[in-house]
Chain A
Amino acid sequence: MSSPLSAEDGDIFERLQQPADPKVLEEQQQAVNERLHAIYQKAQTRLGELIDQNSTLPCAITSVQVLNASHTRRGFLENVFNPLLSSNQKRPYTLSEALREVSARADKLSRFDIFQQPISVYLDQLPESDGQTGLRNLNVYYSVKEKSRVLLKTGTDLGNTEGSAYGNLLWRNVFGGAENLNFNASMGTRTRSAYQAAFDTPVLSDPDFRLEVGGISSATQKSWASHEEVLRGGWSKLRWLSRSGHRHEFGYNGFWRQVTGLAENTSPTVRADAGDSVKSSVFHSWTTDRRDSPFLPSRGYYAKAFNELAGWGPLKGDVAFWKSEVETQSVLPIPIPGINGDSGISFTTGFRAGFLYPLGLGSDSRPRISRLNDRFQLGGPTDVRGFRLSGLGPHDGADAVGGDVYAAGSANLLFPLPRLGAEKPLRLQAFVNGGRLLPLRTSQKVAPTSSAEATEAMTSTISELGNGLPSIAAGVGLVYAHPAARFELNVSLPLVLRKGEEGRKGLQLGIGINFLYYPQQQPYGAQSSAQNLQFYPSTYSSVSGHTTPSQASYGGFGAPPNPAAQGYPVGGVGGGYGFGSPTAGVSGRMNEQGGLRTGWLAAFGTEGYDDEPPLLEELGVNFEHIRTKTLTVLNPFARIDQHLMDDSDLYGALLHIVLYGTFLLLSGKVFYGYIYGVAVFGTVALHLILSLMSPVSPLDPSSSVQPATAADPSINYDPHNKPDSSGHFSATLTFPRSASVLGYCFLPLVLTSLLGIMVPMDTMFGYLLTTAAVGWCTYSSSGMFCAVARMRGMRGLVAYPLALFYVVFGIMGIFSSRGSGTLAAKTGAT
């Protein structure tokens, strides 16, 4: 076997020394991954089989321990886990039953949203089984990690035609029983200010049954009816999720509303309702959502019913009404013959209707006429499209005064974009929508005096809905479903209008989740509460009757069922049956919690990721870099790092230019215009010249210039331009870099001009100083250009245009300053 090395074997060493082809490496890695995956799957299948075989094995759960839950009350956990213990069960578990129960409890635990996902579960079999029954005794361990208890967030939101900044404080697990305390403060363009606090707690340790108590104080600009609404009040409500997925809310609202801050030209109808009113009401809402996605559903339906009773009987308050609203949406996928699976084409219909029935207040049987802030509003880019915000319904002058009865419907046809396909969340849509909003119609136009008259008025108003066509708009547009919000850009035309109603011809942009036919997803349910703090739930709209964002926040009604805790267990611990969640690396879905906040306004939020760099840094304002560059310019002997300008920030450069102008201003002349002009044109021209001079690409092996740099991998890094050099322009010298270099090297002249404020520059001293400064600028900038653009042996050539550029500024400095005036006199300047 000891054959001499053949020529071929010698080759092997050579080949080994060569760096591996990345493609080959990638293939190898892929193969390894596939193999690992296969092994894992096999193990899982085998384990599944093993458990299947033993699934009828009788066993007992003797103890349950929750590890690391130091801030959680024992009593609370006992409520969750007591039913699991065999001592509380009538008959022994089979193994599969026990596992199912254990995993169901883990799921329940995770829905409280106080522990990080995943919750690991371990089973341990006690060495001796129960002698009498022959049962195997299992100890269950839940290993949890508590989420951080205090969460402080600040950010900005933009949407629903409103921009706002907010701060939010969430205190989780306040008393160790998954109670949440939530403070929210925001200031905005429309919601002038809003402060809100809410406390919610699970009832009887059930994550699907929660009690919430909250209070709010806010001031909201209502431009559609030229007033401001100041709101103070509180609510309490029970929320529960039935097993079949119906969500219910039942609660009490008490709000003190103030219609104030009326504009000069506010209509008499709004003026009549100005002032204070108290609403005291009980409400119930029911929602069911069977759509596959709230933003861009392709199938399913959604339904919601809301009822509110205010001021009736013992409720008191200043307003009395019964308000009822229904909302439905259904989506049908349209199959295209010849295309397998989803064609991406879907047909969506939506319908909404509501009425406000006046009631007598307390012992007074005369029905109370509705107030402006209780009436419905209709229309807007996220409501009935093709109309302005609250553009439908009765208008007194420019003010939308709202109505007591409304109905609105829409039909949309959505197509995937050609070439992009159905997978992309982008659709073309054609829509027709319309609606009517009517005030209570009374015969002889007097307020109804009895409930019989009110009923008559209501029926006559409802029948009026069908009189003539509803106000209709149609259009086409583009829909984009971001995971957090839905964006629509539509071109719409009103087809049918009432006088006074404000239709919108042309483009209309809608952002948000409040779309009429995409009813608002309640924040609880799909996501955990911390991700949802900025949802604008519709609870507030029950305050005022229309969709005013309230920035109310909810605790989670339950996190998604923990995928890890379901199905059969995997992995083994000790001698017992292991039951651990698959690790994050395998499932790849565990760490989604760390992603971006998914509140619907997050699309425009400034909140960002957890470990995001600070804003200034993202904008490229890095003071450390600015300092380094400035020092490099000031020290003519410093070695110039060729990556110095890699981030090419323009802020330092801009700062120098502005400073120069300011110093010249202080010394007596306004030269800003000239400075900007010369700077811009000079920079563009110099960039063109210098990039023509610099080598095409240092990476290009055909280029003879500096092959050594090819070994430097960091050259590949170019934050602005991909290194695809087309034409004769430099690969490394981008325009921002040129501008940056020119601006930074401007520093000596800036210092000279600073001196020029105090010392006359139109003297021999000034000429010398300016010349020196120009020389310095030229020297450092030419050095930098050579380093950045990787030019060799042409520094003199580079310096010449740069010198001309700086001389112009130098002369400006001289002219601007006082002095002997010799030069100024010769040139005729005064």
Chain B
Amino acid sequence: MTTNNDSRPEQRPDDSRREPHRARDFFSVPAPVKRLFDRFPLITYPANELPHCALSTQRGNRLFVFTDAAGVRRGRPSFNPQCLKWQAYLKFVGIDFELISSNNHASPSGVLPFLLPSPPADISTPIPASKLQKWAIEEVHCEEEQQLNVRFEVYSSLLDTGIRNAWLYSLYLNHENFEAVARPLYVNPSTTNSAVRSALAAQLQQAARDELLKSSTYIDASALEAEAAEAFEALSTLLGDKVHFFDRPNPGLFDASVFAFTHLILDQNMGWKYNRLGQLLSQHENLVQHRERLLKFF
């Protein structure tokens, strides 16, 4: 009896160890079959070539923006303020990148711009606009301007509401401007089909209208322009006679944000038919000069 009792405790841990092992084996492929399966495929050739694609040949950082073929070649400013803001910012902080002409469908977040970092860095996970600054700070160790100046957020909101709404109105909802500026830039490159073009144009205008109706119950052009005039006034006062906003030695994110709008509003190449914003902006000489200074980066 005693010998029996003695032998049991020894066996038990052994059993308990074997039991889960066996259970796992039951669900996994038996070893001989696995060895056999591992032998296949018998031959592995090198990978197939990829279809011809402009993207796969470039190896640097790639910034996807709204632009045209000439813009891609010469690295000219994008015609979209959001894209231009980040394009300018990355240039100001000294990050090399190549422009890729693209559209909103290509972006994981649904809007441009986004950046594909050069392959060794990360396995081509796109960086949306909202994370671009963080990425840039990690890349070149520039400073985060928001923390340096408490007024940054306040003035940013001037751009994001006052000027942007007026911009949306004058670009998309002003009929003449839409036909002369927005259509050739945003709609026509998508397709050559006129029916699809008019569908896209209608979608675009509706999106702008919805965006404006978010902040007010109706769209009043003169109110939007008045708001923009106030915003320019405030920005002009903020800049004063300094070279860059917040008196920084180098242009930064806020300069890029302002430049994105002032450049496009004052750009003769845009072909504005009705440019009330341009008239308002021209009254502030320091903002015009600020734009010209920064344009030299391109």
List residues of chain A with CB under 8 Å of any chain B CB.
256, 258-269, 271-278, 280, 316-318, 361-362, 369-370, 375, 393-397, 401-404, 437-442, 445-447, 468-469, 493-501, 503, 505-506
Contact of B57 among A256, A402, A445 (CB under 8 A): A445
Q: Which residues of B contact A393 (CB under 8 A)?
A: 48
Q: CA of A273 to CA of B107 in the docked complex: distance in angstroms?
A: 12
* Chain B residues within 8 Å of A277, by CB: 191
Question: B163: CB under 8 A from chain A?
Answer: no
* Partner-contacting stretch, out of B37-45, B175-183, B207-215, B255-263: B37-45
Closest beta carbon of chain B to A448's beta carbon, Å? 9
Chain A positions within 8 Å of B116 at CB level: 268, 271
Knowing that A275-B106, A276-B103 touch, tell me 20 more A-B residue pairs with CB under 8 angstroms. A264-B125, A268-B56, A268-B116, A269-B50, A269-B51, A271-B102, A271-B126, A275-B190, A276-B196, A277-B191, A370-B51, A375-B51, A402-B51, A440-B52, A445-B52, A469-B43, A496-B44, A497-B44, A498-B44, A503-B41
Assess whether A505 is in contact with B190, with CB atoms less than 8 Å apart: no
With A258-B105, A268-B116 as contacts: A369 and B51 at CB distance below 8 Å: yes
Contact indicator A498/B124 (Cβ below 8 Å): no
Contact A262 B108 (CB under 8 A): yes
B41, B49, B106, B193: the one within 8 Å of A394 (CB):
B49
User: A474's closest neighbor in chain B, by CB?
Assistant: B40
* In contact, B200 and A396 (Cβ under 8 angstroms): no
Q: Please, which residue of chain B has its CB at the minimum distance from the CB of A316?
A: B192
Q: Are A264 and B126 in contact (CB under 8 A)?
A: yes
Is there an interface contact between B191 and A256, defined as CB atoms closer than 8 Å? Answer: yes
* Structural contact, B108 and A318, CB atoms closer than 8 A: no
Q: In the complex, A499 Cα to B45 Cα: how many Å?
A: 6
Q: How large is the interface on B (under 10, 10 to 19, 20 to 34, 35 or more residues)?
A: 35 or more
B45 close to A401 (CB less than 8 A):
no
- Residues of chain B contacted by A402 (CB below 8 angstroms): 51
Does B52 contact A439, Cβ atoms closer than 8 Å?
yes
What are the residues of chain B within 8 A of A264 when measuring CB–CB? 108, 125-126
Contacts A/B (CB < 8 Å), 5 sampled: A271-B126, A276-B200, A278-B193, A494-B40, A497-B45
B191 lies within 8 A of A395 (CB): no
Q: For the complex of A and B, list the 6 residue pairs with the smallest distance between their C-beta atoms, beginning with the closest.
A: A274-B106, A439-B51, A499-B47, A268-B55, A278-B193, A394-B48
Report the nearest B residue to A273, measured CB to CB: B53
Q: Which residue of B lies closest to A268 (CB)?
A: B55
- Our pick among B41, B51, B54, B64 for the contact of A494 (Cβ within 8 Å) is B41
CB-CB under 8 A from A272, the residues of chain B are 53-56, 106
From A268, A274, A277, A495, name the one whose CB has the most chain B CB atoms within 10 angstroms. Answer: A268
Contact B47 A439 (CB under 8 A): no
The digit string for B104-131, where 1 denotes a CB below 8 A from any CB of A, is: 0111100000001000000111100000
Interface residues of B in 200-232 (CB under 8 A from A): 200
Query: Which residues of chain B are within 8 angstroms of A280 by Cβ–Cβ distance?
Result: 193
- Residues on A with C-beta less than 8 A from B196 are 256, 276, 278
Residue of A nearest to B200 (CB): A276
Chain B interface mostly: loop
- Residues on the B chain within 8 Å of A258, using CB: 105
- Chain A residues near B50: list those with CB within 8 A: 269, 394, 396, 401, 439
Q: Which of B110-159 contact A (CB under 8 A)?
A: 116, 123-126
A263, A273, A362, most chain B CB atoms within 10 A: A273
For residue A494, which residues in chain B have a CB less than 8 angstroms away from its CB? Answer: 40-41
Chain B interface residues (CB < 8 Å from chain A): 37, 40-57, 64, 102-103, 105-108, 116, 123-126, 190-193, 196, 199-200
What residues of chain B lie closer than 8 Å to A318, measured between beta carbons?
A: 191-193
In contact, A495 and B53 (Cβ under 8 angstroms): no
Residues A275 and B46 in contact, CB atoms below 8 Å apart: no
* CB contact under 8 A between A498 and B105, given known A265-B125, A394-B51, A505-B37: no
Residue of B nearest to A264 (CB): B108
Q: Is the CB of B41 within 8 A of A271?
A: no
Q: Kindly list chain A residues whose C-beta atoms are within 8 Å of the C-beta of B106.
A: 262, 271-272, 274-275
Shortest distance between the CB of B298 and any CB in chain A (Å): 24
Complex alpha-carbon distance, A274 and B109, angstroms = 13
In the assembled complex, the Cα of A389 lies from the Cα of B44 at a distance in Å of 19
Contact B108–A263 (Cβ < 8 Å): yes
**Nearest-Cβ distance from residue A347 to partner chain B, whole angstroms:** 24
Q: Give complex CA distance A469, B64 in Å.
A: 39
Partner of B56, one of A269, A274, A493: A269
Quick one: closest B residue to A267, CB to CB?
A: B124
Distance of B189 from chain A, by nearest CB (Å):
9
A495-B42 in contact given A269-B53, A317-B193, A369-B52 (Cβ < 8 Å):
yes
Q: Is the CB of B45 within 8 A of A496?
A: yes
Q: Are B42's CB and A439's CB within 8 A?
A: no
Residues of chain A within 8 A of B42, CB atoms compared: 495-496
Q: Contacts of B200 on A, CB cut-off 8 Å?
A: 276
Residues of chain A within 8 A (CB-CB) of B41 are: 493-497, 503
Chain B residues with CB below 8 A from A370, complex form: 51
**A642 to B180 Cα, complex, angstroms:** 86
The answer to whether B191 and A278 touch across the interface, beta carbons within 8 angstroms, is: yes
Q: Which residue of A lies closest to B192 (CB)?
A: A318
Partner of B124, one of A265, A273, A442, A445: A265
CB distance B51 to A276 under 8 Å? no
B residues near A445, Cβ cutoff 8 Å: 49, 52, 57
In the bound complex, CA of A262 to CA of B124 (Å): 14
Q: Is A404's CB under 8 angstroms from B51's CB?
A: yes
- Residue pair A505, B40 in contact (C-beta under 8 Å): yes
**Distance between Cα atoms of A447 and B102 in the complex (Å):** 19
Shortest Cβ gap from B76 to chain A (Å): 21
Closest Cβ of chain B to A472, distance in Å, is: 8
Q: Are A275 and B48 in contact (CB under 8 A)?
A: no
Closest to B42 in A: A495
Contacts of A498 in B (CB 8 A): 44-48
Q: Which residues of A contact B126 (CB under 8 A)?
A: 264, 271
B52→A437 contact, CB < 8 A: no
Task: Give the residue name and chain of the B residue nearest to A446 (CB).
Answer: B52
B130 to chain A, nearest CB (A): 14
Looking at the assembled complex, report how far the CB atom of A378 sits from the nearest CB atom of chain B, in whole angstroms: 11
CB distance from A33 to the nearest CB of B (A): 56
Q: Which residues of chain A are within 8 angstroms of B49 by Cβ–Cβ distance?
A: 394, 438-439, 441, 445
CB <8 Å contact, A495 and B43: yes
Contact, CB under 8 Å: B43 / A496: yes
Q: Which residues of A contact B107 (CB under 8 A)?
A: 262
Which residues from A are CB-within-8-Å of B56?
268-269, 272, 396
Closest Cβ–Cβ distance, residue A233 to chain B (whole Å): 10
User: Please, how many angstroms separate the alpha-carbon atoms of A447 and B52 in the complex?
Assistant: 7
